């Protein structure tokens, strides 16, 4: 079971590395790892588990955050329109994105960042992601709003990008051009 002491914190160079693609079909080892990542995210949303293992709540986790420099991520969340997403994804790739941007009004946090970094994190409002799921099926996900934000945060980790890299240093709370908040 993945616990907080296994989460790599900022400062570790692995968080700034570009990850390697996963050989498909995925090995049993990579499938086991991705399954544990998904279970960690689910556990982090369960009050009992949070209390028992002092977990920080999360809606996603990327492999570099547990010290594995591979292109795989797990997400588990319900968006503002009550649409639920629960995926382990291998080799996710953003095929296209909108010009319009969106953002979480309260900014973003990261399980690998043990400090508050205030500010708006501009994200594409709509993205199309191609990936292979934990179950081995190729999917094309058309995401918008909150779901688009979560996937962009996780895919950034696979390219060594942290959420605060996107914050406008001159005016962190200035909404980006051509953007609307994710409601
Ligand atoms: C938005 C949010 N971010 C939480 N934390 N940060 C994370 O998930 C980081 C990834 C998210 C940061 C912004 C976009 C992606 C983890 N990251 O570093 C992985 O790369 C939350 F915990 C959270 N929710 C709301 C839903 N709630 C349902 C019930 O259970 C608790 C849960 C809490 N929403
Ligand atoms: Ni993160």
| DSSP string for 68-119 | --BSEEEEEEE-TTS-EEEEEEEEEEEEEE-SSEEE-TT----TT--S---S
Say whether pLDDT at 162 is over 80: yes
Distance 110 CA to ligand 2 centre (A): 4
Distance 152 CA to ligand 1 centre (A): 13
Q: Could you tell which of 58, 63, 84, 160 is best to mutate to test the pocket of ligand 1, judged by most ligand atoms within 8 Å of the CB?
A: 58
pLDDT confidence bin for 20, thresholds 50/70/90: very high
pLDDT confidence bin for 183, thresholds 50/70/90: confident
pTM: 0.98
What is the three-class DSSP state of 137? coil
Please list the active-site residues: 154
pLDDT confidence bin for 50, thresholds 50/70/90: very high
Cβ atoms within 10 Å, residue 80: 10
Q: Which residue, among 128, 90, 114, 129, has the nearest Cα to 162 in the 3D structure?
A: 114
Residues 98-123 as b or e (16 or more Cβ within 10 Å = b): eeebbbbeebbbbbbbeeebebbbbb
Closest atom of ligand 1 to CA, residue 112: 18
Q: What is the mean pLDDT of residues 29-36?
A: 98
**Closest listed ligand to the CA of 162:** 2
Which ipTM did the prediction report?
0.99
Q: Which residues line ligand 1 (CB under 6 A)?
A: 45, 57-62, 65, 77, 108-112, 149-150, 153-154, 157
Distance 89 CA to ligand 1 centre (A): 17
């Amino acid at each position: 079971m993945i616990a907080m002491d296994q989460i790599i914190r900022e400062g570790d160079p692995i968080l700034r590395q570009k990850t390697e693609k996963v050989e498909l079909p995925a090995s049993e080892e990579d499938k086991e790892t991705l399954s544990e990542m998904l279970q960690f995210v689910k556990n982090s949303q369960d009050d009992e588990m949070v209390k028992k293992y002092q977990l920080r709540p999360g809606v996603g986790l990327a492999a570099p955050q547990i010290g594995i420099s591979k292109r795989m991520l797990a997400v588990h969340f319900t968006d503002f329109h009550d649409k639920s997403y629960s995926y382990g994804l291998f080799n996710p790739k953003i095929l296209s994105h909108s010009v319009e941007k969106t953002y979480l009004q309260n900014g973003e946090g990261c399980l690998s960042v043990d400090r508050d970094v205030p500010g708006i994190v501009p994200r594409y409002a709509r993205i199309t992601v191609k990936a292979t799921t934990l179950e081995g099926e190729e999917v094309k996900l058309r995401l918008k709003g909150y779901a688009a934000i979560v996937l962009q945060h996780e895919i950034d980790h696979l390219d060594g990008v942290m959420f605060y890299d996107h914050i406008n240093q001159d005016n962190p709370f200035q909404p980006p051009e051509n953007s609307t908040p994710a409601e």
